Amino acid sequence: MGKRPKGNHGVSRGHLIRLPPPEIARSNDSAPTQSPSAQSAGVAASSSSCDPTYNRGSQKRALEIASSERERDNAVLDFRRQFFAETTAQSREAQLRLWDQLSACAGFTQLQLTAEHVVVVAAILKSAGYRSAFAYVSVAKHRHIDSAFPWTEQLVQTYRNVKRACLRDIGPPSRAAPFLLDFCQKLPESSQPLIEKGPVAPRALCVVSVWWLLREIEASHAKLADISFIEPRTVRFTLPKSKVDLQSKGTFRDLVCVCGHCPDSPALLPKSLCPVCTVNSHVEWLKSNFGTSQVPLFPDIEGFMVSKNSMVSTIASAAQVAGEHAKTRSGTNRWGGHAWRRGGVHFLAQSGVPVLEIQMHARHSSTAILAYLEGAHVSSLSNMFAKALSPNTHNLLAKNTCTPTTPATCKYIRSSTGVIHQVSTLSPHLTVCRWAWTDTPGTAPAEQLAALGEGPQCRRCWKIRVPSYFKSSGTSRISDSSETSSQASESSSTSS
């Protein structure tokens, strides 16, 4: 762990996504270690490699805890900590601290909320420019109810009014700009970090994070042991635990080589953008410099875990190296912890990957993926109608061998049994009664009905109801439904 990296990092390139495999339980059972840098930055100590232990409950142990006041209190305290993810709990505590400070300054010293209390503090937050003012109100309400104070009808009405006031005219949410895969080519191949106490191999970090749609905290907590090679052209990444993974199941995603350097792999992208070649080169470099599977996948120069803030700063620095602006027009930071994730989603969407498959690859169980897309998939829909019509076009050109007359010029069709049909104007390969006449040889198309001569007409094509006495007498020129079944048998026999 203490061994310092040396030399340049030989990073590689490429692209392509295999359909995400099913979710599985994590297999690593080694306890994670936390570096001093992570502790100083307040990063959560839990890691992706932490696997829950599946044991049967112990009745004896449960009775011991219930009988001891101290153990019971500790169990309740630990249980309450799991109400929220650690990062969420820290944010809620900070919000409550500010709420209490503002309440005290405004003369509200009671923990129990009143309508006036809620309105005054919410107004202060909104006037001070807090876009998340209502989040503070929500946290205060949660604490109020947890403290067994009544949530009266007046507070219910005030809560609704305050929510509307807090959300009015605040504009769209601020989101991180997408860190695109193309940016990675402009980054140096050196293993040296872009910032002090930042991760090594910034190019490899960005390529891996964009391909696997990583959040900054996931990239920070990933370990070398999370990477495995299923075959020479396939890399499996056992992904870190996220705050939405409440049962710590974890998951994995496989990606294949797309630069052509691995056997049987397509040459779609340069090697420096290939997920498999980049990971392979980076893993070899880590093993030669640190020699342990428990080292972070992207450690700092000393081999310790990088903090979340350092990861975000690395994203911003990498974007600047790639020639991107650091600030928006309004002066806010463009780059955040989800920039890699958003960039990967944009890349896959623009490449024509279906939204559902992107959602599976991103490990999203809801429609939250749509907020990442921001219309990036629209450019791949330009030939959607051409794709939808291509099978029909193929049928028209390849299967209609019964006559040189093209379907587009046909208005009427005589089947091999002598029944006359009308051709659909919307779908020329079908009749009005939805018979796929182009699939059946022996049909006689014509522009004018008179060209086909006398014969029974399909009642479904002409939408004529046949009186019962016509059917019994057999004198009508309108064909009954038995013709349709005969045509169906013709089509089935032809296709077979």
The pTM for the full model equals 0.56
Task: List the domain range (segments joined by +) for residue 482.
Answer: 401-495
Better pLDDT: 430 or 480: 430
For position 141, which CATH number holds? 1.10.150
* Most confident stretch, 212-221, 242-251, 435-444: 212-221
**In this structure, is residue 388 part of a structural domain?**
no
Residue 71 has pLDDT above 80, yes or no: yes
Sign of CA dihedral 307, 311, 316, 322: positive
Instruction: Tell me how crowded residue 161 is: count the other CB atoms within 10 A of its CB.
Output: 13
**Residue 163 and residue 186 share a domain:** no
Question: Is 80 exceeded by the pLDDT of residue 173?
Answer: no
- Same domain assignment for residues 345 and 462: no
Within this chain, do residues 365 and 436 fall inside the same structural domain, yes or no?
A: no
Total Cβ atoms within 10 A of residue 396: 17
Whether 374 has a pLDDT exceeding 60, the answer reads: yes
In a shared domain, residues 359 and 414: no
The whole-number pLDDT of residue 386 equals 52
Q: What pLDDT score does 476 carry?
A: 41
Distance from C-alpha of 217 to C-alpha of 31, rounded to nearest angstrom:
18
Q: Give the count of domains, the chain.
A: 3
Residue spans of alpha helices (H) in 290-436? 308-321, 339-350, 355-361, 369-373, 384-398
SS3 217: helix
Backbone angles phi, psi at 129, to 5 degrees: 90, 15
Helix (H) or strand (E) holding 486: helix 482-495
pLDDT band at 77 (very low <50, low <70, confident <90, very high): very high
pLDDT band at 318, cuts 50/70/90?
A: very high
Mean pLDDT of the chain: 75
Reference 426, options 440, 438, 413, 408; nearest CA is 408
Give pLDDT, residue 50.
42
Reported as a single tens digit per residue, the pLDDT across 218-241 is 898 888 888 988 888 899 988 855
Out of 122-131, 181-190, 401-410, the most confident range is 122-131
Q: Cα–Cα distance between 63 and 346 in angstroms, integer? A: 54
Nearest by Cα to 225 from 28, 436, 394, 424: 28
In the sheet that holds 234-239, the strands lie side by side as: 227-231, 234-239, 251-256
Amino acid at site 378: V
408 with 365, same domain: the answer is: no
Shared domain for 254 and 356, answered yes or no, is yes
Q: Is residue 172 part of a domain?
A: no
Residue 132 lies in a domain: yes
Task: Give the number of other Cβ atoms within 10 Å of residue 212's Cβ.
Answer: 25
DSSP per-residue codes, 41-103: TT--S--TT---------HHHHHHHHH-HHHHHHHHHHHHHTTS-HHHHHHHHHHHHHHHHHH
Name 355's Cβ contacts closer than 8 Å, sequence gap at least 6.
Answer: 349, 369, 370, 373, 377
- 140 and 274 together in one domain: no
The residue from 133, 167, 201 where one domain ends is 167
Q: Residue 2: inside a domain, yes or no? A: no
Chain segment 97-133, per-residue pLDDT in tens: 999 999 999 999 888 999 999 999 999 999 998 988 9
User: Does residue 126 sit in the same domain as residue 234?
Assistant: no
Q: Is residue 32 in a domain? A: no
Q: Residue 216 is encoded by which pair of tokens?
A: 């900054």
Identify whether residues 187 and 157 lie together within a single domain. no
From 122, 139, 167, give the residue that closes a domain. 167
- In tens, the pLDDT along 377-403 reads 665 555 555 555 544 433 333 333 334
Instruction: Give a yes or no: residue 489 inside a domain.
Output: yes
256 has which bridge partners? 234
Helices (H) and strands (E) in the chain, counts: 17, 8
Residue 52 lies in a domain: no
257 CB contacts (<8 Å, ≥6 apart)? Answer: 14, 16, 233, 234, 265, 274, 275, 276, 277
Residues 85, 494: Cα–Cα separation, whole Å: 63
Identify residue 139 by its one-letter amino acid code: V
Are residues 301 and 406 both part of a single domain?
A: no
Classify residue 44: in a domain, yes or no. Answer: no
CA 482, 483, 487, 489: dihedral to nearest 10 degrees? 30
Does residue 241 contact residue 248 with C-beta atoms inside 8 Å? Answer: yes
My answer on whether 431 and 344 are in the same domain is no
What is the per-residue pLDDT for 104?
94
Q: 43, 310, 282: which is closest to 184 by C-alpha?
A: 282
For residues 232 and 375, membership in a common domain is answered with yes
| Element containing residue 470 per DSSP (H, E) | helix 468-473
Residue 273 confidence (pLDDT) above 50: yes
Would you state the structure tokens that stand for residue 400, as one six-digit string?
A: 């209609």
Q: Give SS3 for 337.
A: coil
Looking up residue 255, the CATH number of its domain turns out to be 1.10.443.10
* pLDDT tens digits along 288-310: 888 777 889 999 988 899 988 89
